[in-house]
Amino acid sequence: MIYKSGFVNIIGFPNVGKSTLINSLVGKNISIITHKPQTTRHRVLGILNKKNFQIIFSDTPGMIIKKVFFIQKIMMLYIKKSLEDADIILFITEIGKFNFVKEYFYLLNNIYKKKNIPIIILINKIDQIGIKYKENLLYKTIYYWDTLFPNIEILPISALKKINQELLINKILNYLNEHPPYFPKEWISDRSERFFVNEIIRETIFLLYQKEIPYSSEVVTEQFKKYNIFIYIFSFIYVERDSQKGILIGYKGKSLNKLKNYSIKKIENFFKKKIFLKIQVKICKNWRSNYQKLKNFGY
Ligand SMILES: Nc1nc2c(ncn2[C@@H]2O[C@H](COP(=O)(O)OP(=O)(O)OP(=O)(O)O)[C@@H](O)[C@H]2O)c(=O)[nH]1
Ligand SMILES: [Mg+2]
User: Are residues 159 and 42 in contact, defined by beta-carbon separation less than 8 angstroms?
Assistant: no
User: Are residues 1 and 52 in contact, defined by beta-carbon separation less than 8 angstroms?
Assistant: yes
Pocket test for ligand 1, best of 22, 33, 40 (most atoms within 8 A of CB): 33
The single-letter code of the amino acid at 271 is F
Question: Of all atoms in ligand 1, which is nearest to the CA of residue 161?
Answer: 31
Q: What's the rounded Cα separation, in Å, for the pair 108 and 92?
A: 12
**How far is C-alpha 183 from the chain's CA centre?**
20
Average pLDDT over residues 197-213: 97
Q: Which CATH superfamily is domain 193-296 in?
A: K homology (KH) domain (3.30.300.20)
Residue nearest to atom 26 of ligand 1 (CA): 35
Q: Where are the alpha helices (DSSP H) in the chain?
A: 18-26, 70-84, 102-110, 135-148, 165-175, 193-208, 213-216, 242-249, 254-271, 291-296
Question: Of all atoms in ligand 1, which is nearest to the CA of residue 92?
Answer: 19
| Cα 185 to ligand 1 centroid, rounded to whole Å | 28
The single-letter code of the amino acid at 58 is S
Which residues place a Cβ less than 5 A from the ion ligand 2?
18-19, 39-40
Ligand 1 site, CB within 6 A: 12, 14-20, 33-35, 37-40, 61-62, 124-125, 127-128, 158-160
| Predicted local confidence at residue 260, as pLDDT | 98
User: Are residues 38 and 216 in contact, defined by beta-carbon separation less than 8 angstroms?
Assistant: no
User: Are residues 217 and 248 in contact, defined by beta-carbon separation less than 8 angstroms?
Assistant: yes
Q: What's the rounded Cα separation, in Å, for the pair 67 and 52?
A: 42
- At 256-275, the pLDDT tens digits run 999 999 999 999 999 999 99
Question: Of all atoms in ligand 1, which is nearest to the CA of residue 159?
Answer: 31
Q: What's the rounded Cα separation, in Å, for the pair 72 and 91?
A: 20
Domains 4-175 and 193-296 share a fold: no
- At 74-90, the pLDDT tens digits run 888 888 888 888 999 99
| CB hemisphere CA count around 152 (13 angstroms) | 30
User: Are residues 270 and 224 in contact, defined by beta-carbon separation less than 8 angstroms?
Assistant: no
Among the four given CATH numbers 3.40.30.10, 2.40.50.100, 3.40.50.300, 3.40.50.2020, the one describing domain 4-175: 3.40.50.300
User: Are residues 276 and 213 in contact, defined by beta-carbon separation less than 8 angstroms?
Assistant: no
Q: What's the rounded Cα separation, in Å, for the pair 90 and 168?
A: 10
| Cα 271 to ligand 2 centroid, rounded to whole Å | 21
Annotated domain spans of the chain: 4-175, 193-296
Question: Of all atoms in ligand 1, which is nearest to the CA of residue 40?
Answer: 23
Strands of the sheet containing 274-283, edge to edge, are 218-226, 230-239, 274-283
Mean of the per-residue pLDDT values of the chain? 93
Q: pLDDT exceeding 70 applies to what percent of the chain?
A: 99
User: Are residues 117 and 111 in contact, defined by beta-carbon separation less than 8 angstroms?
Assistant: yes
Kindly tell me if the per-residue pLDDT of 107 is higher than 80: no
- At 149-204, the pLDDT tens digits run 888 999 999 999 999 999 999 999 999 999 999 999 989 999 999 999 999 999 99
Q: Which of 54, 60, 50, 47 is nearest to 9 (CA)?
A: 60
| Cα 125 to ligand 1 centroid, rounded to whole Å | 8
Question: Of all atoms in ligand 1, which is nearest to the CA of residue 33?
Answer: 16
Pocket test for ligand 1, best of 15, 40, 78, 123 (most atoms within 8 A of CB): 15
Ligand sitting nearest the alpha carbon of 91: 1
**Helix H or strand E segment including 221:** strand 218-226
| Predicted local confidence at residue 82, as pLDDT | 81
